[in-house]
């Protein structure tokens, strides 16, 4: 088989890139080692920047997001028993975010790809990129007991932190930067109405908490926990009790409890691998960078990578120019590091760090108090939260 672009990974970034390429008349094949059902069974984040929403519209897969998604004009910070709203819409000149689950984004992109004739190959084992340092790269994989080969012009590695793409360039000058945080997030999903129509980020002496949602009837809640904690240690009742302890009394009283339909503990890390281009192989999304979820940047950073790479490929095929492809890594990383900084700041401001003790807690409260009184500080937070321009 031959195509122009092989995309390894069929998460949102791979599918979004594939659809943009298909719309532009650029042939592509998407490969994934797991099944569609497995991918759609993963529950992930769901706060979308305007840039991500615009890319979904550009791909043609944004209609259901506009029907069912929840536009948010702000969110709340709570600390020292106080509540302070960040007016995203007012502070950024009319920008907002959209709450719409990553699983739903993936499903919309899968459905649109199938409707427009895109080629996707699932349960492809032992996927491997080859000869991407030269002019004739190709990808091999195994399926149904046979080895297959796809020749191509370019390879997009959209296969996540544990995927083969970054592993394939580990010995080619890749530099990695990492910060592992000394805690995790215990999260649950429950079929209950959210405590507020906007997200609540809580700083508390007992630890961080987040009140989020996937819809008007499905809530997603988190509490900071120890890295070595176990889900088995937390009954649903214990989780709800701890969540309410970390919220101001007015918010805690409005929490509707119910059985969890998903419960898990996620570690937090900041990670960047650079460069993001190796010959004709490009790293995209989680293959190149991870952010702690505090700033809601993971999926959105993957979308900005897709934007820069699509621009480069479109220019290469349409104008026979390498300029945008050659600039891909530099352009993507400039935005990546700004989002990493913001996510790092949000994480350091909102969480309890064991090594800083009571002094650290008071410093966080002072920072949040300043933020609540300074329009300039609030505007900076809002501008980063809604997403910096591409």
CATH of the domain at 113: 3.50.50.60
Per-residue pLDDT at 304? 98
Q: Residue 253: what are its φ and ψ, rounded to 5°?
A: -65, -25
> Are both 338 and 289 inside the same structural domain?
yes
Q: What is the pLDDT of residues 90-115, one digit of tens each?
A: 999 999 999 999 999 999 999 999 99
Number of domains in the chain: 2
> Are both 38 and 143 inside the same structural domain?
yes
> Are both 148 and 194 inside the same structural domain?
no
Place of tokens 């046979």: 146
> Are both 118 and 173 inside the same structural domain?
yes
Rounded to whole angstroms, the Cα distance separating 243 from 206 reads 10
Q: Does residue 58 belong to any structural domain of this protein?
A: yes
Per-residue pLDDT at 43? 66
Q: Residue 93: left if φ>0, alpha if ψ -120 to 50, beta else—which one?
A: left
Annotation marks residue 181 as catalytic: no
Q: Of the residues 141, 181, 201, 317, which is catalytic?
A: 201
> Are both 253 and 106 inside the same structural domain?
no
Tell how far CA 11 is from the center of its chain.
11
> Are both 299 and 318 inside the same structural domain?
yes
Per-residue pLDDT at 368? 97
Per-residue pLDDT at 268? 96
Kindly give the parts of the chain with pLDDT less than 70. 43-45
Annotation marks residue 385 as catalytic: yes
> Are both 263 and 210 inside the same structural domain?
yes
Per-residue pLDDT at 45? 67
Annotation marks residue 221 as catalytic: no
Q: Of the residues 204, 297, 307, 351, which is catalytic?
A: 297
> Are both 357 and 233 inside the same structural domain?
yes
225, 183 Cβ separation under 8 angstroms = yes
Secondary structure string (H, E, C) spanning 252-319:
HCCCCCCCEEEEEEEEEEEEEEECCEECCEEECHHHCEECCHHHCCHHHHHHHHHHHHHHHHHHHHHH
Q: Of the residues 308, 317, 328, 385, which is catalytic?
A: 385
Cα-trace Rg, the chain:
21
Rounded to whole angstroms, the Cα distance separating 385 from 319 reads 35
> Are both 283 and 231 inside the same structural domain?
no
Annotation marks residue 72 as catalytic: yes
What's the pTM? 0.95
Q: Does residue 92 belong to any structural domain of this protein?
A: no
Q: Does residue 337 belong to any structural domain of this protein?
A: yes
Q: Does residue 361 belong to any structural domain of this protein?
A: yes
Q: Does residue 89 belong to any structural domain of this protein?
A: no
> Are both 210 and 156 inside the same structural domain?
no
Annotation marks residue 297 as catalytic: yes
> Are both 304 and 338 inside the same structural domain?
yes
Other C-beta atoms within 10 Å of 370: how many? 11
Q: Does residue 130 belong to any structural domain of this protein?
A: yes
Q: Of the residues 221, 293, 307, 308, which is catalytic?
A: 293
Per-residue pLDDT at 111? 97
- Reference 6, options 171, 141, 143; nearest CA is 141
Rounded to whole angstroms, the Cα distance separating 176 from 281 reads 17
* Domain residue limits at 276: 5-70+99-177+269-346
> Are both 44 and 114 inside the same structural domain?
yes
**Helices marked H in 8-101 — which ranges?**
12-23, 36-40, 50-59, 63-68, 88-91
């Amino acid at each position: 088989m031959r195509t122009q672009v092989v995309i390894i990974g069929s998460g949102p970034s791979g599918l979004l890139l594939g659809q943009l390429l298909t719309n532009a008349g650029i042939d592509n094949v998407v490969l994934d080692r797991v099944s569609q059902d497995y991918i759609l069974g993963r529950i992930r984040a769901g706060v979308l920047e305007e840039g991500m929403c615009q890319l979904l519209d550009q791909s043609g897969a944004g209609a259901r997001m506009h029907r069912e998604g929840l536009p948010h004009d702000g969110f709340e910070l709570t600390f020292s028993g106080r509540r302070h709203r960040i007016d995203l819409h007012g502070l950024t000149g009319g920008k907002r975010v959209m709450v719409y689950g990553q699983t739903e984004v993936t499903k919309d992109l899968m459905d649109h790809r199938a409707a427009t004739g895109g080629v996707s190959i699932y349960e492809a084992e032992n996927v491997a990129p080859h000869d991407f340092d030269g002019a004739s790269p190709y990808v091999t994989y195994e399926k149904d007991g046979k080895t297959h080969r796809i020749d191509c012009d370019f390879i997009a590695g959209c296969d996540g932190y544990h995927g083969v793409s970054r592993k394939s360039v580990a010995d080619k000058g890749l530099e990695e930067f990492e910060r592992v945080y000394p805690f995790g997030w215990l999260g649950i999903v429950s079929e209950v109405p959210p405590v507020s129509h906007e997200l609540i980020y809580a700083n508390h002496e007992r630890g961080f908490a987040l009140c989020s949602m996937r819809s008007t009837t499905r809530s997603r809640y988190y509490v900071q926990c120890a890295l070595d904690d176990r889900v088995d240690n937390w009954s649903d009742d214990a989780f709800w009790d701890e969540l309410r302890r970390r919220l101001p009394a007015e918010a805690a009283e409005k929490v509707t409890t119910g059985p969890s339909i998903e419960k898990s503990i996620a570690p937090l890390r900041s990670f960047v691998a650079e460069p993001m281009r190796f010959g004709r192989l490009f790293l995209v999304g989680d293959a190149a960078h991870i952010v702690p979820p505090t700033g809601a940047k993971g999926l959105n950073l993957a979308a900005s990578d897709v934007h820069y790479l699509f621009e480069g490929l479109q220019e290469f095929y349409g104008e026979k120019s390498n300029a945008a492809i050659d600039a891909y890594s530099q352009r993507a990383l400039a935005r990546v590091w700004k989002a990493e900084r913001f996510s790092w700041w949000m994480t350091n401001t909102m969480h309890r760090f064991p090594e800083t003790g009571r002094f650290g807690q008071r410093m966080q409260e002072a920072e949040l108090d300043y933020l609540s009184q300074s329009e300039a500080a609030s505007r900076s937070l809002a501008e980063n939260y809604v997403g910096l321009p591409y």
